[in-house]
A and B are shown apart, each in its own frame.
Chain A
Amino acid sequence: MTDHNLLLDILKNPTGMAELGTGQWNRLLLDAHLLKLRGRLAYEARASGLWQDLPEKVRQILTNAEVETTARQRKIRWEINRVRRALFGFSDKVILLKGGGYLAQNLDCARGRICADIDILVAKNNLDIVENHLLTAGYYSEVLNDYDQKYYRQWAHELPPLRHPDRMVEVDIHHNILQLTSRYSLDIDPMIRAAVKVEDNIYTLCPEDMLIHSFVHLFVDGSVKASLRNLLEQHDMIVEFSRDSTFWPRLMDRAEELKLTRPVFYGLRYCRYFLDSPVPDEVTARGTRAAPGAAILKIMDLMVRRSMVPYGDNRSKLTDYLATNGLYIRAHWLRMPFMMLVGHLTAKFFRRYGFGRS
């Protein structure tokens, strides 16, 4: 495995920023822009003490990113505060997932990270109560289309997104981290039980669940395309959480308990591959028990390597395209049974070309 990418090099070794020429800066800044990692570069430049030595123009461009990530994080923190207020009196757990959770716990992976929206997880029997609280507080749903409303409510693991008209930050209410129709059927209750309190009724997942969720999001549910930032957050969590020596056995036990050993295997594999994450050999060995067959793994390796850093030089556009779309199809394949997928895509097709009702 010998893919070479300047952005990866710099993320692993930020002091390399001291020696870049103009062409390299353009390459680095463009990749970082496309992968939403400029805010992270700005953070690394400051943390490594290199900021003052960087070219003036680079500092100005990184300042754009720094201002934007700081402002976004401020908005997300404020929205969490507003959600908390809207849910005043609701006594059960409201669990912040992903970016909101990283911010609430002040994790290393939140540094310089651009957060777009808020995801919360609640027990399924609380969905209506929580939704009503937010609607009463002025949030509204932008999804007015009947098919989409029904699809969300019947099959998805989240409600149609809500927004408050004054702030326009999207709030997604989940009752699971995977679609009900997914190949992996997940009992979410253990995750809810193990959640860690932040303040009042606001919680986050516990460390091992947080990392597992990120793996699942990337390797089961999401698109791998241009997802280096997700891999990076996983790497950061690995480094930060594994300072506690009990973390690794807890993580691997949890993956088995939740029957999510395959996405954890992939996650650890690609964190090591791309970012040299410090995964102990015995953990890797244990994870490898969940590996797919050699042929599948080979294909997966090829696709992930092509998609994760999709903008490198000297690469075939065709293979990048096939890899990225292969992973997109795979994500859909895992998400729902075949006949349901056919129905879903048919409905989307008819609507797209104007035959649908609304």
Chain B
Amino acid sequence: MATRQMVSAKVSTLNPGTIKQHLSGGGVLVAIGPVCTRVSIEFPSIREEFLQLYHGYPFLKGPAITDYYLNVYARNFYRRYIRPQVAVNTLMNNDFVPLPESMGMVAVEMGMNWQVAFGWKSHILFHAGVVEKDGIGVIIPAVSGSGKSTLSAGLAYDGWRFLSDEFGMLEARTGELLPYPRPVSLKNESIAVLKEWVGSDIPFSREYTGTPKGTICYLRPPDASLKAMKEPVKPRLVIHPVFNPDARPEIRPLTKTMAFFRLVRSSANYGDIGAPAFHALSKIAEECISCEITYSSLEEAIQLVNEVVGRCRS
């Protein structure tokens, strides 16, 4: 009940000129799912990229109780104008390597990830993608490199609602997943795959080459997913993807015990939350269908997901 109240709060959004003005000054409030962040950016070039990537996200007009403060700035005159370098202040002991101005958006995204990953403890966090179709919530937990972002984005642009590619948020009390639809962070080979899949350049950022994680490109989720960013969903499936270019497609069901421990392993704050997290994950392991899928291409993965969903319906 309380969650509903929180998510149905009225949103009045700002016009683009005002957003830019706030962004360069005291900060602009961007509300994504349950997270409200005040973002300020000192560099005009990064402001432009930020506004392009976050086009269609709600920028709040009125005052709102704020979760996080993110300031993107230059340490001094030299780092602002002569050899520009971007520093990020999350107010949360971040210790990021400063990046060149051209990678400013990467710094912004890293900062926002950091704040949620280390600060958000009111909900159980999974390092997982989350999508939904016909009321069926799917958690896609995975280690980096398994293709969870690629798969979540691929599903998002194939008729599914996108809730997250990085942070699954579970409300322990209601057992519901909250959307936190940030832009999808695509890396290296998956960029071309998704560009072909989506068939349009519009929702993509430019490509950031030479970052600590290789080439990164951000993909804005579909507008319909952004519009539904306050609507939680019950999880029904947990699908652990394993990308292997040489393997045959396969679905392996997990035992309830295995399903439970896999969820524990993918949760960032399970240990901090303690007993409520234990009960919530036990419930998911008990009630959801859990499996591991091996795939060698995005099409294959999506086919496998649809097959599992079919089992869920029958």
Are B121 and A61 interface neighbours, CB within 8 A? no
Known contacts A56-B2, A71-B271, A71-B272; is A64 also within 8 Å of B119 by CB?
yes
Known contacts A22-B63, A26-B63; is A34 also within 8 Å of B91 by CB?
yes
Which residue of B65, B120, B269 contacts A57 across the interface (Cβ within 8 Å)? B65
Are A63 and B91 interface neighbours, CB within 8 A? no
Are B274 and A64 interface neighbours, CB within 8 A? no
Are B6 and A57 interface neighbours, CB within 8 A? yes
* Contact residues in A for B66 (Cβ distance below 8 Å): 26, 29-30
Q: Quick check: is A9 within 8 A (CB to CB) of the other chain?
A: no
Are A60 and B63 interface neighbours, CB within 8 A? no
Are B5 and A60 interface neighbours, CB within 8 A? no
* Contact residues in A for B192 (Cβ distance below 8 Å): none
Which residue of B36, B121, B271 contacts A63 across the interface (Cβ within 8 Å)? B121
* Contact residues in A for B36 (Cβ distance below 8 Å): 57
Chain A proximity of B192: nearest CB distance (Å): 39
Chain B proximity of A142: nearest CB distance (Å): 15
Are B65 and A58 interface neighbours, CB within 8 A? yes
How far is A25 from B36 in the complex, measured between Cα atoms in Å?
14
| A22, A59, A60: most-surrounded residue (chain B CB, <10 A) | A60
Chain B proximity of A341: nearest CB distance (Å): 28
Are A25 and B119 interface neighbours, CB within 8 A? no
* Contact residues in A for B272 (Cβ distance below 8 Å): 67-68, 70-71
Q: Quick check: is B292 within 8 A (CB to CB) of the other chain?
A: no
Measured as residues with beta carbon below 8 angstroms from the partner, the interface class of chain A is 20 to 34
Number of A-B contacts (CB under 8 A): 51
Chain B contacts with A in 268-289, Cβ cutoff 8 A: 269, 271-274
Chain A proximity of B9: nearest CB distance (Å): 8
Measured as residues with beta carbon below 8 angstroms from the partner, the interface class of chain B is 20 to 34
| B2, B34, B66: most-surrounded residue (chain A CB, <10 A) | B66
Chain B proximity of A63: nearest CB distance (Å): 4
Are A64 and B63 interface neighbours, CB within 8 A? no
Known contacts A33-B91, A56-B6; is A64 also within 8 Å of B65 by CB?
no
Known contacts A64-B120, A68-B121, A68-B272; is A22 also within 8 Å of B34 by CB?
no
Are A64 and B91 interface neighbours, CB within 8 A? no
Chain B proximity of A180: nearest CB distance (Å): 31
Q: Quick check: is B21 within 8 A (CB to CB) of the other chain?
A: no
Q: Quick check: is B67 within 8 A (CB to CB) of the other chain?
A: yes
How far is A19 from B264 in the complex, measured between Cα atoms in Å?
40
Are B64 and A60 interface neighbours, CB within 8 A? no
Q: Quick check: is A190 within 8 A (CB to CB) of the other chain?
A: no
Give a binary string over B66-86; 1 marks a CB under 8 Å from any A CB, 0 the rest: 110100000000000000000
Are A64 and B2 interface neighbours, CB within 8 A? no
Are A30 and B69 interface neighbours, CB within 8 A? yes
* Contact residues in A for B69 (Cβ distance below 8 Å): 30
| B36, B91, B272: most-surrounded residue (chain A CB, <10 A) | B272
Nearest-neighbor residue (CB-CB) of A21 within chain B: B63
Known contacts A22-B65, A67-B122; is A60 also within 8 Å of B271 by CB?
no
Chain A proximity of B115: nearest CB distance (Å): 11
Known contacts A33-B91, A67-B269, A71-B271; is A23 also within 8 Å of B63 by CB?
yes
Are B274 and A71 interface neighbours, CB within 8 A? yes
Nearest-neighbor residue (CB-CB) of B62 within chain A: A22
How far is A163 from B67 in the complex, measured between Cα atoms in Å?
32
How far is A68 from B268 in the complex, measured between Cα atoms in Å?
13
How far is A35 from B272 in the complex, measured between Cα atoms in Å?
21
* Contact residues in B for A71 (Cβ distance below 8 Å): 121, 271-274
Q: Quick check: is A16 within 8 A (CB to CB) of the other chain?
A: no
Chain A contacts with B in 145-175, Cβ cutoff 8 A: none
How far is A26 from B2 in the complex, measured between Cα atoms in Å?
21
Known contacts A30-B69, A67-B121, A67-B122; is A60 also within 8 Å of B34 by CB?
yes
- Beyond A55-B65, A61-B65, 17 additional contacts (C-beta under 8 Å) are A22-B64, A22-B65, A25-B65, A26-B66, A30-B69, A60-B34, A61-B67, A63-B121, A64-B119, A64-B122, A67-B269, A67-B273, A71-B121, A71-B271, A71-B272, A71-B273, A71-B274
Pairs A–B under 8 Å by Cβ, sample size 17: A22-B63, A33-B91, A55-B65, A56-B2, A56-B5, A56-B6, A57-B65, A58-B65, A63-B122, A64-B119, A64-B120, A64-B121, A64-B122, A67-B122, A67-B272, A70-B272, A71-B271
Closest 6 CB pairs of A and B: A71-B272, A67-B121, A63-B122, A57-B65, A22-B63, A56-B6
